[in-house]
Structure 1
Amino acid sequence: MAIDKSDPSTFNHQYANVNNIRMHYVDENSTSNKVVLLIHGWPDLWLGWREQIPFLVNLDYRVIAPTLRGFGETDAPESHEEYGYGTVSKDLLSLMDHLEIPTFTVVAHDWGGGVAWRFAQFYPDRVLNVGCYCTPYVPPSREFVPLDKVVEALPNFKYQLRLSSPEAEKEINDNIPAFFARVFRPSSEAHEAWIDPETGTVIAGRPVVPKSDMIPQKVYDHYVSIYTKTGSHGSLNWYKQGWNNFVQCKDLGDNVNQPALMVVATLDSALPPFMSDNMHKYIPNLEKHTIEGAGHWVLWEKPDECNEILKNWLAKVYPLDS
């Protein structure tokens, strides 16, 4: 069956037991020995890469897009203590071991970017190259900084305080169709803040907006169906990871030594471009690009630009004919 990027059922869905969880993943073009591992963020699923998966397959890369722990059809441990960058990196490494893939390139977005940078540091002999959309690299903290202190320095992260609260889980679970209609919007249609400045809510009590025409109906239906089945608890555990990430990563070095790609979107309010300004200090082999007029969902808002940047970078660091 040919991949239809607007129909999630046309992708090759697989499952594996890795690192004590059952993980869902999409695996396309398995005969290629050049593997690109795509890592999604929140409240996304593997499907956030729907514009990139067939593009990379057509170039003849093997593409593996897992659903991270806490999300979708992958197990979601109840306790937030069973998460963190080190734990998730081990999930991904275990998946690649299961598939008998020794080395690969990692490309990520949003929370997946936080994982990808650390994954590259934990397993430099396995991760050959690392690329990221929106999420900047920052060195591991040597002292624990709680989220409220992070927000003082980076007010654009204020929404995370809400998402780490019990109230956020209930309001999302009670309003899943409206939540995805509101969150998955291109920058040109996103006229309101992620969090209501008056009520402090994500979705509760806010006007219902129609689904964006940029989100195919079957794609929207898939997100709504998955979250209706699983709820948002596991995915929201990712916003309670400050301590886990500190403990699991504090002994890593400051630098990422692999060839790296960073792509920022000028209208990304969650991860604004200035956050990546110092990355070159820690990544000797860094290539950086800016996509104008796109927000946080740049992967599908400006897919042609995202894909062209990725194609050109891979041709240099991970060519198919080598």
Structure 2
Amino acid sequence: MATDGPWTHDQILVNGVRLHYVEAGEKDAPLVVLLHGFPEFWYSWRAQIPALADAGFRVVAPDMRGYNESEKPHGVSSYRSEELVGDVAGLVRELGEEQAHVVGHDWGGIVAWQTAIRHPEIVDRLAVLNAPHPGAYRRELQRNTDQLRRSWYALFFQLPWLPERLLGARNCAVLADLPDSATNPEAFTETDVRRYREAASQPGALRSALNYYRAAFRENLRTELRALVGGERPDQSVRAPTLLLWGEQDPALCVELTEELAKWVPDVRVERLPDASHWVQNDAPDRVNEALVEFLR
């Protein structure tokens, strides 16, 4: 997909999967990896890539596996957290670096959390946008009926074929509603929506994206069963300095997910944007860019 801008396109083979990515900035500058969410692709960072490059970073924004121009491996097991984290770790190493600043939004944020948990040696600094720490998400599902209600779609996505059929109808027409779900009327232009629809309409893309949810559901179920039998849960601590940016007008994620995080993330700073939606980097690009540049420096 051709999208003009101050970046270059390339491909790389990591963790057995071919990933497409865009890059900006000097090759010898500190590396920042930007991980997009659902149902997006690298283009969701269009306002952040030039800002971070201008601030002196080497910026790489991949299409995560299954999305847009990246390879779309078959089967739910191909989208387990182990594989997604392996993609990030492999990408950093194949780019010739030992560490990187990792930034993620939505599903990219979930993968960013897991990368910092499982590969602390890879993540120098961590920034997450509207994606909960796994411990906080589990806590709120147990005690917060509002968050349980908001998470209904994740259960719906467990169904076979039907979610793909509904989301993919009329060339992913559901994505035409993106501007209505943002709080900033300028967050998504008609061109932006068209590009998201084109990316999601590629063969296998929706199934791959939904398999993220299916793999996570199965993994979490196994974790809960093991904890029930053995009484232990995996360590979910994050050593890297962490910035959590949160648009408070998020219909899917409650603000309580940003609270009481020190148990897992001792060095965390939380910045809430009261007027931003789930699409926080699109609703408030200048504020997000300022926060990221300040934190990553």
- Smaller-chain TM-score bracket: 0.7 to 0.9
Between the aligned partners of 2:66 and 2:144, the Cα distance in structure 1 is 23
Q: Which residue number corresponds to residue 281 of structure 1?
A: 263
TM-score after normalising by structure 2: 0.86
Q: Which residue number corresponds to residue 298 of structure 1?
A: 280
1:172 aligned residue (163, 167, 173): 167
Aligned to 1:279, the other structure's residue is in SS state coil
2:153 aligned residue (142, 154, 159): 159
Aligned to 1:26, the other structure's residue is in SS state strand
Between the aligned partners of 2:180 and 2:46, the Cα distance in structure 1 is 16
The aligned runs of 1:256-267 (5 Å cut-off) are: 256-267=238-249
1:102 aligned residue (98, 118, 122): 98
The aligned runs of 1:192-211 (5 Å cut-off) are: none
Identity of matched residues, %: 27
Matching of residue 269 in structure 1 with residue 251 in structure 2: yes
The verdict on how the C-alpha distance between 1:150 and 1:229 changes in structure 2, with shifts beyond 3 A counting, is: farther
Counterpart contact for 2:25–2:53, Cα < 8 Å:
yes
Q: Deviations over 1:272-310 (max 9, x none)?
A: 211121212211111110101111111111111111111
Q: Which residue number corresponds to residue 183 of structure 1?
A: 178
Aligned to 2:72, the other structure's residue is in SS state coil
The verdict on how the C-alpha distance between 1:136 and 1:148 changes in structure 2, with shifts beyond 3 A counting, is: closer
Q: Which residues of structure 2 form unaligned runs of 5+? A: 227-232
Aligned to 2:127, the other structure's residue is in SS state strand
Q: Deviations over 1:84-124 (max 9, x none)?
A: 22111101111122111111110111011111111011111
Aligned to 2:164, the other structure's residue is in SS state helix
Q: Deviations over 1:181-201 (max 9, x none)?
A: 113534348xxxxxxxxxxxx
Higher helix proportion (structure 1 or 2): 2
The alpha-carbon deviation at position 268 of structure 1 amounts to 0.8
1:138 aligned residue (103, 116, 134): 134
The aligned runs of 1:22-41 (5 Å cut-off) are: 22-41=18-37
Counterpart contact for 1:140–1:254, Cα < 8 Å:
no
Quick check: 248-257 or 262-271, which moved more?
248-257
Aligned to 1:185, the other structure's residue is in SS state helix
Between the aligned partners of 2:21 and 2:211, the Cα distance in structure 1 is 20
Query: Quick one: which amino acid aligns to residue 52 of structure 2?
Result: L
Q: Which residue number corresponds to residue 208 of structure 2?
A: 234
Counterpart contact for 2:237–2:264, Cα < 8 Å:
yes
The verdict on how the C-alpha distance between 1:110 and 1:12 changes in structure 2, with shifts beyond 3 A counting, is: same
Query: Quick one: which amino acid aligns to residue 73 of structure 2?
Result: P
TM-score after normalising by structure 1: 0.80
The aligned runs of 1:304-319 (5 Å cut-off) are: 304-315=286-297
Matching of residue 214 in structure 1 with residue 173 in structure 2: no
The alpha-carbon deviation at position 217 of structure 1 amounts to 3.5
Counterpart contact for 2:258–2:270, Cα < 8 Å:
no
Counterpart contact for 2:137–2:257, Cα < 8 Å:
no
Between the aligned partners of 1:92 and 1:19, the Cα distance in structure 2 is 9
The verdict on how the C-alpha distance between 1:14 and 1:220 changes in structure 2, with shifts beyond 3 A counting, is: same
Counterpart contact for 2:125–2:240, Cα < 8 Å:
yes
Aligned to 1:8, the other structure's residue is in SS state coil
The verdict on how the C-alpha distance between 1:63 and 1:151 changes in structure 2, with shifts beyond 3 A counting, is: farther
Between the aligned partners of 1:248 and 1:106, the Cα distance in structure 2 is 25
The verdict on how the C-alpha distance between 1:247 and 1:57 changes in structure 2, with shifts beyond 3 A counting, is: farther
Aligned to 1:257, the other structure's residue is in SS state coil
Taking only aligned residues, the RMSD between alpha carbons, in angstroms, comes to: 2.8
Q: Which residues of structure 1 form unaligned runs of 5+? A: 1-6, 190-211, 316-322
The alpha-carbon deviation at position 43 of structure 1 amounts to 0.3
Aligned to 2:4, the other structure's residue is in SS state helix
Counterpart contact for 2:13–2:19, Cα < 8 Å:
yes
Matching of residue 243 in structure 1 with residue 225 in structure 2: no
Between the aligned partners of 2:121 and 2:212, the Cα distance in structure 1 is 27
Query: Quick one: which amino acid aligns to residue 99 of structure 2?
Result: T
Q: Which residue number corresponds to residue 197 of structure 2?
A: 224
